[in-house]
Amino acid sequence: MKQISLLGSTGSIGRSSLDVIRRNPDRFKIIALAAGRNLSELKRQIEEFQPSAVSVIDEHHALELKRQLPSLAGLEVLYGSEGYRQVASLPDADLVISAMVGAAGLLPTLAAIEAGRDIALANKETLVMAGSLVLELAKSRGVNLLPVDSEHSAIFQCLSGQGSQRIRNIHLTASGGPFFRCSRERLETVGPKDALKHPNWLMGDKITIDSATMMNKGLEVIEAKWLFGVEVDQILVCIHPQSIVHSMVEFTDGSVLAQLGIPDMKIPIAYALSFPERMDCPELSLDLFKIGTLEFFPPDIEMFPCLGLAYKAAREGGTMPAVLNAANEVAVEAFLAERLPFMKIPRLVERVMDSHGIKGLPDLGDILEADAWARREAQKLLKNMRD
Ligand SMILES: NC(=O)C1=CN([C@@H]2O[C@H](COP(=O)(O)OP(=O)(O)OC[C@H]3O[C@@H](n4cnc5c(N)ncnc54)[C@H](OP(=O)(O)O)[C@@H]3O)[C@@H](O)[C@H]2O)C=CC1
Ligand SMILES: CC(=O)[C@@H](O)[C@H](O)COP(=O)(O)O
Ligand SMILES: [Mn+2]
């Protein structure tokens, strides 16, 4: 029985993870949950999965949760950064699922690695911000980093049993998002409702906007660089509107291995949870004849500059990827609140990056400082960039 601590339980990945666990009660046991503010969903999860500890965002939400769940004696209700740290580093957990959204996922994930727990990693921002530190710490603690992100799970599966020295290129597939082949005129007018309509995947708002700008693919390039130890220029993005091929690895002998499946996150989640074994998921089945066509196109970096900005940040290294990530989080939040037009998301990120003095070989303090600086800088610039 694998004992699991789940960070980000009320989100899209959190709920899909619980679905996989619910179907396999003989293999997995939830021992702790961490959420943000969604108490009604968390309450349902506590009642069903009976964890021994939970953490929420702050004391107010912890008190409210206790008020709503008076009968659950024995449940430890924690909150804030210390609560998340405790849930992430429980000694009884075999695996921690890291599925909070954004920079909030970094410290709990580091705490879990520090405590020697294997990680099923959905929170790509952790590797974008602090890839070098995360890899070093995971190595020193003997921790397995098991990718949940669909493309990285695909690459990980294609690489099983092969050394990464023999990789010529990684072909990272992207759906193209809701605005694939849109005109520039149209992109100037799109709002949150349009951008939240992802063609293939049901996900949280932040990653759905990142898919629409293609920043998601940029963050994934950085994530792949760290997970698979390849050079940035070996990671090639291709638009694959069907989202059936989840990524490919081209080896030095010209062989290309791909992983395919329906676009459902329960597949990569199940793989990360059961690794090195596979599970039976009869409901997740691919009908190739229904799909019929698989297409591949080059990305348009002029229309989707966020992808180019992420490559630039990856090449420059040091604190720059953390700055890219923080500026993007501010820009996406402003776009969702209708305070920034869609096409100004990359402009804001670029301006913050342009005014950043990179610190090479950053420690955790440098990364957190760069993240805070980029948020302040982005907020300042936002005021002049609304229309
Ligand atoms: N959704 C998907 O299919 C995929 C997601 N990912 C990655 O997985 C991660 C999660 O994505 P997704 O599930 O879509 O996101 P959601 O927005 O659906 O869920 C986010 C989760 O994080 C919690 N949360 C939000 N802010 C904070 C905070 N400041 N402190 C603590 N917890 C917080 C939320 O809590 P609450 O709602 O209770 O406030 C919720 O549980 C992201 O990094 C994303 O890039 C990767 C591949 C695919
Ligand atoms: C499901 C998943 O892994 C997402 O990261 C997905 O890939 C987003 O779609 P895009 O390919 O449009 O970014
Ligand atoms: Mn992905």
Asked if the structure places residue 131 within a domain, the reply is yes
CATH of the domain at 50: 3.40.50.720
Handedness of CA 94, 100, 104, 105 (dihedral sign): positive
Q: What is the pTM of this model?
A: 0.98
On whether residue 113 sits in a domain, the answer given is yes
Q: Which ligand is nearest to the CA of 124?
A: 1
- From the CA of 219, give the closest atom in ligand 1: 45
Q: Which residues surround ligand 3, an ion (CB under 5 A)?
A: 149-151
**Is 204 near ligand 1, meaning CB less than 6 Å away?**
yes
Question: What separation in Å is there between the alpha carbon of 220 and the centre of ligand 3?
Answer: 7
Query: For residue 288, what pLDDT is reported?
Result: 96
pLDDT tens-digit readout, 148-199? 999 999 999 999 867 677 999 999 999 999 999 999 999 999 999 999 999 9
Confidence of residue 386 (pLDDT cuts 50, 70, 90): low
The Cβ of residue 263 has, within 10 Å, a number of other Cβ atoms equal to: 16
Say what the pLDDT of residue 148 is: 98
Residue tagged 């075999």 (tokens): 94
Please report whether residue 175 resides in a domain.
Answer: no
Looking at the structure of the chain, the number of domains it has is 1
Residue ranges making up the domain that contains 65: 2-147
Helix axis angle, 215-228 relative to 150-158, nearest 10°? Answer: 30
Task: Report whether 257 contacts 191 (CB < 8 A).
Answer: no
The model's confidence at residue 83, banded by pLDDT at 50, 70 and 90, is very high
Q: Is residue 38 part of a domain?
A: yes
pLDDT in tens, 249-282: 999 999 999 999 999 999 999 999 999 999 999 9
Q: Is the pLDDT of residue 74 over 70?
A: yes
Residue 96 lies in a domain: yes
Question: For residue 8, is it within any domain?
Answer: yes
Q: Does the beta carbon of 149 sit less than 6 angstroms from any atom of ligand 2? A: yes
Pocket test for ligand 2, best of 149, 181, 216, 223 (most atoms within 8 A of CB): 216
Distance CA 243, CA 254 (A): 23
Q: Say yes or no: CB of residue 150 within 6 Å of ligand 2.
A: yes
Say if 285 falls within a structural domain: no
Q: Is 114 exposed, middle or buried (0-12, 13-18, 19+ CB in 10 A)?
A: middle
